[in-house]
Amino acid sequence: MAAAQSKNQEILDIAKSLKGTPWCEEYERMISGMLYNPLHPTLLEGRHKARCAAYKFNNLDPNAYDFEQVAEVRTKLLGEMLGSVGEGTYIETPFSPDYGCNIIIGKNCFMNFGFTVLDTSLVIIGDRVQMGPNVHIYTAGHETSVLSRIKFVEFGHPIKIEDDCWIGGNVIILPGVTIGRGCTVGAGAVVTKSLPPYSVALGAPAKVVKTIASVEEELADPKNPFRDMPDRV
Protein backbone atom coordinates (compact mmCIF):
# COMPACT_ATOMS: atom_id res chain seq x y z
CA MET A 1 0.00 0.00 0.00
CA ALA A 2 1.43 3.35 -1.06
CA ALA A 3 1.28 6.75 0.60
CA ALA A 4 -1.80 8.93 0.08
CA GLN A 5 -1.56 12.13 -1.95
CA SER A 6 -3.97 14.27 0.09
CA LYS A 7 -5.29 14.62 3.62
CA ASN A 8 -8.07 12.35 4.84
CA GLN A 9 -10.76 14.62 6.26
CA GLU A 10 -12.71 11.76 7.82
CA ILE A 11 -9.65 10.65 9.80
CA LEU A 12 -8.80 14.24 10.75
CA ASP A 13 -12.32 14.80 12.08
CA ILE A 14 -12.10 11.68 14.26
CA ALA A 15 -8.66 12.69 15.54
CA LYS A 16 -9.99 16.09 16.65
CA SER A 17 -12.05 14.31 19.31
CA LEU A 18 -9.07 12.45 20.80
CA LYS A 19 -7.03 13.38 23.85
CA GLY A 20 -3.38 14.44 23.76
CA THR A 21 -2.71 14.40 20.03
CA PRO A 22 0.53 16.11 18.92
CA TRP A 23 -1.33 18.31 16.47
CA CYS A 24 0.73 19.98 13.75
CA GLU A 25 1.00 19.88 9.96
CA GLU A 26 3.14 16.72 10.06
CA TYR A 27 0.63 15.03 12.38
CA GLU A 28 -2.20 15.78 9.93
CA ARG A 29 -0.12 14.30 7.10
CA MET A 30 0.86 11.31 9.24
CA ILE A 31 -2.62 10.16 10.23
CA SER A 32 -3.94 10.88 6.72
CA GLY A 33 -1.57 8.36 5.14
CA MET A 34 0.67 10.93 3.45
CA LEU A 35 4.45 10.97 3.53
CA TYR A 36 5.59 12.84 6.64
CA ASN A 37 8.67 13.62 8.70
CA PRO A 38 8.73 11.43 11.84
CA LEU A 39 11.53 13.57 13.30
CA HIS A 40 9.38 16.69 13.62
CA PRO A 41 9.82 17.96 17.22
CA THR A 42 6.09 17.84 17.99
CA LEU A 43 5.91 14.20 16.93
CA LEU A 44 9.06 13.34 18.86
CA GLU A 45 7.49 14.87 21.95
CA GLY A 46 4.29 12.89 21.34
CA ARG A 47 6.18 9.60 21.21
CA HIS A 48 8.17 10.56 24.31
CA LYS A 49 4.93 11.16 26.24
CA ALA A 50 3.68 7.76 25.12
CA ARG A 51 6.88 6.07 26.34
CA CYS A 52 6.54 7.75 29.73
CA ALA A 53 2.88 6.77 30.07
CA ALA A 54 3.54 3.18 28.97
CA TYR A 55 6.40 2.85 31.45
CA LYS A 56 4.12 3.97 34.27
CA PHE A 57 1.39 1.58 33.13
CA ASN A 58 3.70 -1.40 32.62
CA ASN A 59 5.60 -0.97 35.89
CA LEU A 60 2.67 -0.65 38.26
CA ASP A 61 3.48 -2.79 41.32
CA PRO A 62 0.55 -5.21 41.82
CA ASN A 63 1.79 -6.00 45.33
CA ALA A 64 0.80 -2.49 46.41
CA TYR A 65 -2.90 -3.02 45.67
CA ASP A 66 -5.64 -5.59 45.93
CA PHE A 67 -7.24 -6.94 42.75
CA GLU A 68 -9.97 -4.31 42.47
CA GLN A 69 -7.56 -1.46 43.17
CA VAL A 70 -5.11 -2.66 40.51
CA ALA A 71 -7.93 -2.74 37.95
CA GLU A 72 -9.02 0.78 38.91
CA VAL A 73 -5.50 2.22 38.71
CA ARG A 74 -4.77 0.52 35.38
CA THR A 75 -8.07 1.80 33.97
CA LYS A 76 -7.15 5.33 35.02
CA LEU A 77 -3.66 5.09 33.49
CA LEU A 78 -5.07 3.60 30.30
CA GLY A 79 -7.50 6.49 30.00
CA GLU A 80 -4.61 8.93 30.29
CA MET A 81 -2.58 7.10 27.64
CA LEU A 82 -5.14 6.38 24.89
CA GLY A 83 -7.12 8.71 22.68
CA SER A 84 -10.35 7.07 23.85
CA VAL A 85 -11.18 3.90 25.79
CA GLY A 86 -14.50 2.40 26.83
CA GLU A 87 -15.64 1.13 30.20
CA GLY A 88 -14.59 -2.39 31.14
CA THR A 89 -11.63 -2.61 28.77
CA TYR A 90 -8.50 -4.24 30.20
CA ILE A 91 -5.00 -4.56 28.72
CA GLU A 92 -2.42 -6.84 30.30
CA THR A 93 1.17 -5.66 30.59
CA PRO A 94 3.45 -5.18 28.82
CA PHE A 95 1.60 -2.87 26.46
CA SER A 96 3.61 -0.94 23.85
CA PRO A 97 1.87 1.90 21.97
CA ASP A 98 3.73 4.28 19.66
CA TYR A 99 1.64 7.42 20.27
CA GLY A 100 -1.26 6.00 22.27
CA CYS A 101 -3.41 9.03 21.52
CA ASN A 102 -4.25 7.60 18.08
CA ILE A 103 -5.83 4.47 19.61
CA ILE A 104 -9.59 4.21 20.13
CA ILE A 105 -10.88 1.14 21.99
CA GLY A 106 -14.51 0.41 22.80
CA LYS A 107 -16.01 -1.14 25.92
CA ASN A 108 -15.44 -4.55 27.49
CA CYS A 109 -12.37 -5.44 25.41
CA PHE A 110 -9.47 -7.60 26.57
CA MET A 111 -5.93 -7.59 25.19
CA ASN A 112 -3.48 -10.15 26.56
CA PHE A 113 0.25 -9.84 27.28
CA GLY A 114 2.54 -8.20 24.72
CA PHE A 115 0.02 -6.02 22.86
CA THR A 116 2.00 -3.74 20.49
CA VAL A 117 0.42 -0.94 18.46
CA LEU A 118 2.27 1.28 15.98
CA ASP A 119 -0.46 3.91 15.83
CA THR A 120 1.06 6.16 13.20
CA SER A 121 -2.49 6.49 11.90
CA LEU A 122 -5.67 5.78 13.83
CA VAL A 123 -6.41 2.36 15.28
CA ILE A 124 -10.14 1.98 15.92
CA ILE A 125 -11.23 -1.08 17.91
CA GLY A 126 -14.89 -1.79 18.62
CA ASP A 127 -16.67 -3.29 21.63
CA ARG A 128 -16.03 -6.75 23.12
CA VAL A 129 -12.91 -7.41 21.06
CA GLN A 130 -10.56 -9.98 22.56
CA MET A 131 -6.93 -10.63 21.71
CA GLY A 132 -4.45 -13.35 22.58
CA PRO A 133 -0.82 -12.70 23.58
CA ASN A 134 1.61 -10.77 21.40
CA VAL A 135 -0.84 -9.30 18.93
CA HIS A 136 0.86 -6.60 16.84
CA ILE A 137 -1.01 -3.85 14.98
CA TYR A 138 1.03 -1.84 12.47
CA THR A 139 -0.47 1.23 10.82
CA ALA A 140 3.04 2.36 9.82
CA GLY A 141 4.25 1.82 6.27
CA HIS A 142 7.26 2.53 4.07
CA GLU A 143 7.71 2.91 0.34
CA THR A 144 9.87 0.30 -1.40
CA SER A 145 12.05 3.15 -2.67
CA VAL A 146 15.46 3.07 -1.01
CA LEU A 147 15.74 6.83 -1.51
CA SER A 148 12.60 7.31 0.60
CA ARG A 149 14.42 5.68 3.51
CA ILE A 150 17.50 7.80 2.93
CA LYS A 151 15.23 10.87 3.02
CA PHE A 152 13.62 9.39 6.18
CA VAL A 153 9.97 9.74 5.19
CA GLU A 154 7.22 7.27 5.97
CA PHE A 155 3.42 7.01 6.05
CA GLY A 156 0.61 5.20 7.85
CA HIS A 157 -2.89 3.95 7.06
CA PRO A 158 -5.68 3.41 9.62
CA ILE A 159 -6.73 0.01 10.95
CA LYS A 160 -10.22 -0.84 12.13
CA ILE A 161 -11.36 -3.89 14.11
CA GLU A 162 -15.13 -4.04 14.47
CA ASP A 163 -17.20 -5.36 17.39
CA ASP A 164 -16.99 -8.90 18.77
CA CYS A 165 -13.79 -10.05 17.06
CA TRP A 166 -11.37 -12.62 18.41
CA ILE A 167 -7.73 -12.10 17.38
CA GLY A 168 -5.49 -15.07 18.20
CA GLY A 169 -2.02 -14.97 19.67
CA ASN A 170 0.90 -13.66 17.58
CA VAL A 171 -1.35 -12.20 14.91
CA ILE A 172 0.06 -9.28 12.89
CA ILE A 173 -2.35 -6.76 11.34
CA LEU A 174 -0.94 -4.54 8.57
CA PRO A 175 -1.79 -0.97 7.46
CA GLY A 176 -5.15 -0.13 5.94
CA VAL A 177 -6.93 -3.30 7.09
CA THR A 178 -10.52 -3.48 8.35
CA ILE A 179 -11.54 -6.63 10.21
CA GLY A 180 -15.31 -6.95 10.06
CA ARG A 181 -17.63 -7.64 12.96
CA GLY A 182 -17.51 -11.07 14.55
CA CYS A 183 -14.34 -12.26 12.81
CA THR A 184 -12.01 -14.87 14.23
CA VAL A 185 -8.35 -14.59 13.20
CA GLY A 186 -6.32 -17.71 13.97
CA ALA A 187 -3.07 -17.62 15.91
CA GLY A 188 -0.01 -16.58 13.92
CA ALA A 189 -1.94 -15.10 11.01
CA VAL A 190 -0.67 -12.07 9.09
CA VAL A 191 -3.64 -9.95 8.02
CA THR A 192 -2.68 -8.07 4.86
CA LYS A 193 -6.18 -7.42 3.46
CA SER A 194 -9.56 -6.53 4.94
CA LEU A 195 -11.80 -9.36 6.16
CA PRO A 196 -15.60 -9.36 5.74
CA PRO A 197 -17.82 -9.67 8.84
CA TYR A 198 -18.26 -13.10 10.46
CA SER A 199 -15.23 -14.61 8.77
CA VAL A 200 -12.72 -17.11 10.10
CA ALA A 201 -9.27 -16.37 8.67
CA LEU A 202 -6.04 -18.33 8.98
CA GLY A 203 -2.49 -18.22 7.65
CA ALA A 204 0.15 -15.86 6.35
CA PRO A 205 -1.20 -14.05 4.48
CA ALA A 206 -4.54 -14.58 6.20
CA LYS A 207 -7.26 -16.12 4.05
CA VAL A 208 -10.92 -16.64 4.84
CA VAL A 209 -11.57 -20.36 5.36
CA LYS A 210 -15.23 -20.12 6.34
CA THR A 211 -18.01 -17.80 7.43
CA ILE A 212 -20.12 -18.16 10.57
CA ALA A 213 -23.62 -17.21 11.72
CA SER A 214 -24.29 -13.60 12.61
CA VAL A 215 -25.29 -12.55 16.14
CA GLU A 216 -28.88 -12.16 14.97
CA GLU A 217 -28.88 -15.66 13.48
CA GLU A 218 -27.44 -17.16 16.65
CA LEU A 219 -30.04 -15.43 18.82
CA ALA A 220 -32.81 -16.74 16.59
CA ASP A 221 -31.59 -20.33 16.86
CA PRO A 222 -33.20 -22.14 19.84
CA LYS A 223 -30.54 -24.86 19.65
CA ASN A 224 -27.65 -22.42 20.06
CA PRO A 225 -25.84 -23.46 23.28
CA PHE A 226 -24.82 -19.90 24.15
CA ARG A 227 -28.14 -18.14 23.57
CA ASP A 228 -29.57 -18.52 27.09
CA MET A 229 -26.33 -18.11 29.03
CA PRO A 230 -26.32 -15.11 31.42
CA ASP A 231 -24.48 -11.97 30.34
CA ARG A 232 -21.11 -11.65 32.10
CA VAL A 233 -20.67 -7.90 31.63
User: Which of 40, 48, 142, 157 is an active site residue?
Assistant: 142
pLDDT in tens, 116-168: 999 999 999 999 999 999 999 999 999 999 999 999 999 999 999 999 999 99
In the CATH scheme, what is the code of domain 9-220? 2.160.10.10
Residue 44 makes CB contacts below 8 A (sequence gap 6+) with none
* 231, pLDDT greater than 90: no
**pLDDT above 90 coverage of the chain, percent:** 93
Looking at residue 1, what is its pLDDT? 81
Instruction: Check: CB of residue 130 under 8 Å from CB of residue 107.
Output: no
Angle, CA of 55, 59 and 60, to the nearest 5°: 120
For residues 101-110, give the mean pLDDT. 98
* 53, pLDDT greater than 80: yes
* 232, pLDDT greater than 80: no
**pLDDT above 70 coverage of the chain, percent:** 100
Domain boundaries, the chain: 9-220
Instruction: Check: CB of residue 104 under 8 Å from CB of residue 121.
Output: no
68 pLDDT band (50/70/90 cuts)?
confident
Does 157 participate in catalysis according to the annotation?
A: no
215: helix, coil or strand?
Answer: helix
